[in-house]
Amino acid sequence: MGERARSIGSEAETKAWNFLRTLGYRIEDKNNEQYDIDCIAVFPSNDNKSALVRPRFAPDGLTAFEVTEETLRKRKVTNFKSKIERYNTDNPEDRVQGGILLVDQKISPKMIGYMKNQDIWGWGLSRQRLYKEKWGIFHAWKETLGLTMEVVLDENASYLVCSTPPPTKSDKLLHFAIFLDDDFHKLSLRRVIEMLDRVKDASITPLTKIGISPINIHIEFHSVGGLSAEEEEFEETIAKFWKTDGINIIKTKNYFFDYRTFSNL
């Protein structure tokens, strides 16, 4: 209890667990004094298409969480790993698959790489902001536009899609918000094109094949690792090309959002 008490206060702890619940985690245990683990939770496996999927930067299965406001050092990571190992030794049939450190600071890619080698995932301020933004967009679209779902692209990316068939006040048939959860690569134009090709095949082409044209859509991109793509490049390279296929990308705000430096919780 001593290390935990030094790391966080009760208010920060409450915020952290509420944050996990909003993302979809089910908390199994809190403040486990035997192993000095702040929280053990799991992201339920289900086929509910109207719910958010498990965060891309997280282990699959039972997960240990620790929250700290201290400066993040390697010792903090190895101590957390040791707690998980002790827990797994005593609970071989109910093993924790990995740990997540919720950190009240920015985490460098170098530290993220070190942590991953220890089976510890790091959620710094930028990643927390990315997940809160995704949650906010998901519920805003669901409440005001219609059925919204999250689709997994790969281990680092997913997208929200909302269909707004008539009658509707929206001038866009489809809304997309694409999230790149990758500390090690900036969101480049090449990566944008790659992701959009998959989004188009899965969510737009089926409509054009049955004769729906033109299609007005909204697209926005969110990146935890920074940006190298530019708005003008997107307009010239993608938006104009898609328009020839009867797909009109209607810009209502910026296409790209970068969460590297924004504060959160």
Distance CA 144, CA 96 (A): 38
- Domains, in order of start, for the chain: 2-123 (3.40.1350), 128-258 (no CATH)
Cα distance between residue 91 and residue 85, in whole Å: 10
- 40 touches 64 (CB < 8 A): yes
pLDDT average, residue stretch 50-75: 92
pLDDT at position 172? 84
Express each pLDDT in 140-168 by its tens digit: 999 999 889 999 999 999 999 998 876 66
What is the pLDDT averaged over residues 175-199? Answer: 94
Q: Which residue has the higher pLDDT, 26 or 48?
A: 26
User: Is 116's pLDDT higher than 70?
Assistant: yes
Q: What is the per-residue pLDDT for 8? A: 54
pLDDT tens by residue, 28-61: 999 999 999 999 999 998 777 778 999 999 999 9
The pLDDT value given to residue 75: 95
| 70 has a pLDDT exceeding 90 | no
Summarize pLDDT for 203-216 with one digit per residue, the tens.
999 998 998 888 99
What's the confidence (pLDDT) of residue 134? 96
Please give the residue that has the higher pLDDT: either 7 or 219: 219
- What mean pLDDT value characterizes the chain? 89
pLDDT, greater one: 258 or 177: 177
